[in-house]
Structure 1
Amino acid sequence: MKESSQPWKPFTAKYCCSVEDQTFFGNFSRCRTSKSDISKNINAPAPSFRRLSFSDLSRSSSTRLNEDLAQSFGPDLYDFQLSELRAITQNFCSNFLLGEGGFGTVHKGYVDDNLRQGLKAQAVAVKLLDIEGLQGHREWLAEVIFLGQLRHPNLVKLIGYCCEEEERLLVYEFMPRGSLENHLFKRISVSLPWSTRLKIAIGAAKGLAFLHGAEKPVIYRDFKTSNVLLDSDFTVKLSDFGLAKMGPEGSDTHVTTRVMGTYGYAAPEYVSTGHLTTKSDVFSFGVVLLELLTGRRATDKSRPKREQNIIDWAKPYLTSSRRLRCIIDPRLAGQYSVKGAKQMALLARQCVSLNPKDRPKMPSIVETLEALQHYKDMAVACGQAQASTKSATRNGVSSGGRLEGRGASYRKSAPVTSSKKT
């Protein structure tokens, strides 16, 4: 896997749907036929997948595609006109720009209750496809299909879509606090309190547990801080399902696919073999837990070589409270639970195990994290705050703040792809 220089490419598939890629959806426009059986009903915990046939979503005509999507989703998703989305974003004005990258741009918009019957007045995020992108349509359609059927408090809500000629857009609920990436790594952001970090970890874990709990699991495949969006009360909403896949049935089976994801978050067995399971998501979740604990990015090429990868750097410090305080985010200033941080560190260590079978399942992770909410032993009250700051400085963590992240809300770190066939 090679690290891309582009700041954000949420949809980076370089290949059309093929037998080798084993994508979940079939003969879509601009894509070759897949042999995947994608018409099987998925009975996930409520709210769950409905029965939906994808076989008719292959027509290249945007008019026919709109008809198919409208028939499949009915009133659950709004079919917007491009002129309507231009109006609510003031013609995609730069003043409303939330982020940009490989998919295109994301703009804030405002809808009133007169735009569509049943649609309440609200702020929205409008994602505009870069029409020069080779695979944008494929991932746009994947996003519509997944989020058109998936409903959960910890998944971002897709409100509607637009498909006119070559134009492809998506309309989501607006997340006022942006991404977890910005809160952890932007220098200007206020440090997240321990309780908020724990709440975010629990919410993200519940979102992944919901996806994995389907009769045929959904593997998110690109879990990272930039895809964890935050509502006004720091409720987590997972976003960007363009790389998600219908997974294998059974914990010991896998899908073999081309490697797509983000450098530093992808599980090693997936990178080396293309074998994708729900445990691949668990590995990525463990990386994010380390980012929440330390305030460091998954990878940082500006640091000394031994500190560039967060797993390699942090692992020796995760097994004891005394050692953990050397790498805990200094911006917490001792305002964290000593026992809670240790348990989270041990959980993260288990999640990033090289052996997928040693990684816990997401429901178990949710249970473990929820139990940490009851710990009240703040490090500052235990006399560890000053020691933590000194130790962190010795280990290369500046007590003055974060690494500076690039971009605004919704701006992404660059996913990377590999053409290696398995």
Structure 2
Amino acid sequence: MPCTFSSSSILPAMPTPWRPFTANCCTVEGQTAFGNFSRCRPTRSEFSKKVSEVSSFRRLSFSDLSSSSSMRINEDLTHSFGSGLHAFQLSELRAITQNFSSNFLLGEGGFGTVHKGYIDDKLRQGLKAQPVAVKLLDIEGLQGHREWLAEVIFLGQLRHPHLVKLIGYCCEEEERVLVYEFMPRGSLENHLFKRISLSLAWGTRLKIAIGAAKGLSFLHGAETPVIYRDFKTSNVLLDSDFTAKLSDFGLAKMGPEGEDTHVTTRVMGTHGYAAPEYVMTGHLTTKSDVYSFGVVLLELLTGRRSMDKLRPKNEQNLVDWAKPYLTSSRKLRYIMDPKLAGLYSVKGAQEVASLALRCVSSNPKDRPRMPVIVDTLESLQHLKDMAVNSGARPVTPKSSRNGVTVKGRRDVKAGAHRKPSPAAAQTARVN
């Protein structure tokens, strides 16, 4: 699993000064942590400004939390979001997960653990009967109360077919829990990199890329843009028909407003996905998300992780290794995911590669905007020029001094008339 990092040593944190909503607030060591959100329903622009301030305060520790602060936060959230979000009791969530049993464990990471549960109107009147994912945050982990609160606020306000739906939350003493719709096919990371998973067909990969792009496009197109800041394969979840939805908004930030060109913030994200200018300067823009999206496109093309320390040194960073292969279809076929077994559109793959190359440009101004990315990907959905039919046989490139190895025509011709193996044909039918 890629490691999450916080590079505050690169650039000192520069938090936005806090200004309370009203005098009646939750406080942390004398400083306002969460304003009286309930008594003054803000406009969208005011809401965006306040969310930015709320999500930037430092993470609370156990000693900061008390029964009164939890009660007040619950009251504010209830008044702010009403019936749109359910405020669950911890006892209810323990019941539907058998006390967060390991038998119901879906996954775990720096945030804590995620367990499967089932809710219906017997648990709470008005609840739709459905399976859910219950995320139990580790308040002392890499993400804590601040990320929990940011996620509740963002997903409580934002609704879109390509964002995972937040059903409810729990804020009870030191416990912080989130309840989402259950995504039966798990994460894109599992499908690309777990050996037990069936290979994703080319059309399915394209569908996932389009769905994720639409989710980012929606965030960037808000009145005040939302910068996701942690786009990666593990945060792209898939429903039963492989519709992609973005999850985990704990690191999301409100984008620049007015004449500002960027947000300066503490550098946080995941190695291999974070845009280089953000890592170096702490300057965050929507183009930072575009870079991360380009990295995921490369993972979809190659079946390789963004960072892989088990590979030779010149192949560990996917962007650096793949760039020389992205300029032509002749080179590209050598780095295509072998699990595709040649069953992909040659033209489509080259267009995706070209798009990925633009997305990971070192100059943010050269990166396309998300609506352009959506249009480009959607135009590739109906291409049928499959590589196996044109004689292009996938080959794993050997390491070379300049990073590019292209075999001679004799090697290409040797596989020109080979038919896909029975296993490859079965994989195509399954997907």
Same fold (TM over 0.5): yes
Amino acid at match of 2:217: A
1:307-359 deviation line (CA, Å, top 9, x unaligned): 01111111001011110001011111111000000000000000000000000
1:244-291 deviation line (CA, Å, top 9, x unaligned): 000013797001111000000000000000000000000000000000
The equivalent residue for 1:272 is 280
Q: 1:145 aligns with which of 147, 153, 161?
A: 153
Instruction: Give the 3-state SS of the residue equivalent to 2:330 in structure 1.
Output: helix
Q: 2:105 aligns with which of 78, 87, 97?
A: 97
Whether contact under 8 Å (1:158, 1:171) holds in the other structure is yes
Whether contact under 8 Å (1:108, 1:123) holds in the other structure is yes
Instruction: Give the 3-state SS of the residue equivalent to 1:107 in structure 2.
Output: strand
Q: 1:74 aligns with which of 52, 77, 82?
A: 82
Q: CA deviation at 1:101?
A: 2.2
CA RMSD of aligned residues (A): 3.3
Q: 1:156 aligns with which of 151, 158, 164?
A: 164
Whether contact under 8 Å (1:12, 1:102) holds in the other structure is no
Please show how residues 222-371 of structure 1 align to structure 2 within 5 Å.
222-249=230-257, 253-371=261-379
Seen in structure 2, the aligned counterparts of structure 1 residues 152 and 255 have a Cα distance that, compared at 3 Å, is same
Runs of 4+ in structure 1 over 2 Å off: 7-15, 21-34, 38-43, 49-60, 131-135, 249-252, 389-396
Please show how residues 336-415 of structure 1 align to structure 2 within 5 Å.
336-385=344-393, 388-389=394-395, 391=397
The equivalent residue for 2:416 is none
TM-score (norm 1): 0.83
The equivalent residue for 1:61 is 69
Whether contact under 8 Å (2:187, 2:236) holds in the other structure is yes
1:145-187 deviation line (CA, Å, top 9, x unaligned): 0000000000000000001111110000011110000000001
TM-score (norm 2): 0.81
Whether contact under 8 Å (1:22, 1:256) holds in the other structure is no
Please show how residues 176-195 of structure 1 align to structure 2 within 5 Å.
176-195=184-203
Q: CA deviation at 1:11?
A: 9.9
Residues of 1 paired with 2:381 and 2:260: CA distance?
32
Identify which of structures 1 and 2 has the higher relative contact order when contacts are C-alpha pairs closer than 8 Å and 6+ apart. Answer: 1
Seen in structure 2, the aligned counterparts of structure 1 residues 139 and 11 have a Cα distance that, compared at 3 Å, is farther
Residues of 1 paired with 2:15 and 2:75: CA distance?
28
Seen in structure 2, the aligned counterparts of structure 1 residues 53 and 260 have a Cα distance that, compared at 3 Å, is closer
Residues of 1 paired with 2:189 and 2:93: CA distance?
27
Whether contact under 8 Å (1:152, 1:207) holds in the other structure is yes
Q: CA deviation at 1:29?
A: 5.1
Using the aligned pairs only, state the percent identity.
Answer: 73
Which residues of structure 1 form unaligned runs of 5+?
1-6, 44-48, 397-422
Q: CA deviation at 1:30?
A: 4.4
Seen in structure 2, the aligned counterparts of structure 1 residues 121 and 362 have a Cα distance that, compared at 3 Å, is same
Seen in structure 2, the aligned counterparts of structure 1 residues 157 and 12 have a Cα distance that, compared at 3 Å, is farther
Residues of 2 paired with 1:202 and 1:251: CA distance?
31
Seen in structure 2, the aligned counterparts of structure 1 residues 312 and 56 have a Cα distance that, compared at 3 Å, is closer
The equivalent residue for 2:15 is 21
Please show how residues 112-131 of structure 1 align to structure 2 within 5 Å.
112-131=120-139
Seen in structure 2, the aligned counterparts of structure 1 residues 29 and 8 have a Cα distance that, compared at 3 Å, is farther
Whether contact under 8 Å (1:23, 1:245) holds in the other structure is no
Residues of 1 paired with 2:184 and 2:102: CA distance?
18
Q: Bigger radius of gyration, 1 or 2?
A: 2
Instruction: Give the 3-state SS of the residue equivalent to 1:372 in structure 2.
Output: coil
